Amino acid sequence: MIISVASGKGGTGKTTVATNLAFALGSRVELLDCDVEEPNAHLFLHPVFERSERVKTPVPLVDESKCTFCKKCSAICRFNALAVVGKRVLVFAELCHGCGGCLLVCPEGAISETGRELGSLNFGRRDAIGCISGQLRVGETMAPPLIKRVRAAADPEQITLIDAPPGTSCPVIAAMHGADFVLLVTEPTPFGLHDLKLAMAAVKLLGIPAGLVVNRADIGDDQVFAYAEREGLPLLLTIPFDRKIAEAYSQGKLIVEELPAWRERFIDLYRAIETIVQGSTAAVCANS
């Protein structure tokens, strides 16, 4: 079971939901922090990190002694990562997407590959809960390949909870693609609603069943609730604005630890997701 926790708008409570859900489940669960630009899950789950792995993406390395400066490499590169200027080949490594086109097209075999560091994967545990956190190198632009590496490191035998980045563009898609369920988290404000609609469009594009958590449910207005009802987006949990929750969050504490009554609510949330996923799988089987 892969559950991706996403939102559109930032700061609505994705990490809160993902970490509390992981902690409430307690075992057979792995939390993937795919918000690699600003990974925060570890600040709440407090895992002990056991090892760290550097992640690289391939970039070309040109052997100018073999190069005839034919410019085929710079012609094939759609990302302008190579330029041939006189008797020099300039490689702009930060623009390279690692497609390998230049390597394939070079008639002299003058191009090999080296790596550009994207960031790191950090592997940790909080008791029986696994945690893999991706961290983008400061200055690196490309988050999606690192997100894919975090996803690839997941243990398929466990429940996978993904803490996704905000937005609706390629990093979010990398964090949602192939999930069994997307749990959308929003707040009932005009910004929250606007970005929820965008996130819903992404979920629909991917064809993944989804459910909604409304955080700080008593601020703002009721437009988010009306939208969810119109869209048939099941409301699975509401979390009120409570100064105690906000303060616990600010200190890096989990709601389920501070207010134990919430443990059962998060477990119920998981059960509700399970029921929806089983239902949609059954529907797919019945149709095929």
Partner 1 sequence: MRELVIISGKGGTGKTSLTAAFAALAAETSNSVLCDADVDAADLHLLMQPEVQRRTDFMGGSKALITPDLCTGCGTCRSLCRFDAISERLTVDPLRCEGCGVCVDFCPTAAIAFPVQRCGEWYLSETRFGPMVHARLGIAEENSGKLVSLVRRQARQLAEERGSELILTDGPPGIGCPVIAAIGGATALVIVVEPTVSGRHDMERVLDLAAHFRVPGMICVNKFDLNLEMTEAIEQVAAKRNGTLLGRVPFDPIFTRSMVAGKTLFEYGEETPTRQRVREIWNRITGSPAMHPPGIVDCKTTIQ
Instruction: Tell me if 178 contacts partner 1 by CB under 8 A.
Output: no
- What angle (nearest 5°) sits at the alpha carbon of residue 151, between those of residues 137 and 146? 20
The least CB distance from residue 17 to partner 1, in Å, is 13
* Contact region with partner 1 (CB under 8 A), list: 243-251, 255-263, 264-272, 278-286: 243-251
Give the total of residues touching partner 1 (CB under 8 A): 61
**Separation of alpha carbons 175 and 164, rounded Å:** 6
Residue (194 or 271) nearer to partner 1, CB: 194
Q: DSSP secondary structure string, 67-126?
A: -----HHHHH-TT--EEEETTEEEE-GGG-----HHHHH-TT--EEEEEEEEEEEEEEEE
Chosen residue from 252, 271, 279, 281 binding partner 1 by CB under 8 A:
252
| Contact call for residue 153 and partner 1 (CB under 8 A) | no
Q: Which two tokens stand for residue 130?
A: 């696994």
Q: Rule CB under 8 A: choose which of 56, 116, 125, 177 binds partner 1.
A: 177
Shortest reach from residue 32's CB to partner 1, in Å: 17
First-to-final CA distance of the chain: 21
φ, ψ of residue 201 in degrees (nearest 5): -60, -40
Q: Is 88 in the site for partner 1 (CB under 8 A)?
A: no
Residues 179-218 contacting partner 1, CB under 8 A = 187, 189-191, 194-195, 198, 201-202, 205-206
Q: Are 104 and 87 in contact (CB under 8 A)?
A: no
Quote the crossing angle between the two packed helices 14-25 and 261-287, to the nearest 10°. 90
| Nearest partner of 9 among 216, 178, 150, judged by Cα | 216
Query: What pairs with residue 85 in β-bridges?
Result: 88
- Binding to partner 1 (CB under 8 A) within 259-288 occurs at none
Shortest separation between residue 200's beta carbon and partner 1, angstroms: 9
Q: Is 220 in the site for partner 1 (CB under 8 A)?
A: yes
**Smallest distance from the beta carbon of 139 to partner 1, in angstroms?**
5
Among residue numbers 89 through 148, which ones bind partner 1 (CB under 8 A)? 97-101, 104-105, 136, 138-143
Under the binding rule (CB under 8 A), the answer on residue 169 touching partner 1 is yes
Should residue 156 be labelled a site residue for partner 1 when binding is judged by CB under 8 A? Answer: no
CB atoms within 10 A of CB 220: 18
* Residue 158 phi, psi (nearest 5): -105, 165
Instruction: Pull the structure tokens for residue 86.
Output: 């006189």
According to DSSP, the β-strands at 129-136 and 235-239 are unpaired
Residue 240 within binding range of partner 1, rule CB under 8 A: no
Token duo for residue 281: 């799988």
Site for partner 1 in 22-41 (CB under 8 A): 35-38, 40
**CB of 40 vs partner 1, minimal distance in Å:** 4
- Is 87 an interacting residue with respect to partner 1 (CB under 8 A)? no
**Sites of contact with partner 1 (CB under 8 A):** 8-12, 15, 35-38, 40, 43-44, 76, 78-79, 97-101, 104-105, 136, 138-143, 165-173, 177, 187, 189-191, 194-195, 198, 201-202, 205-206, 219-221, 243, 246-247, 249-252
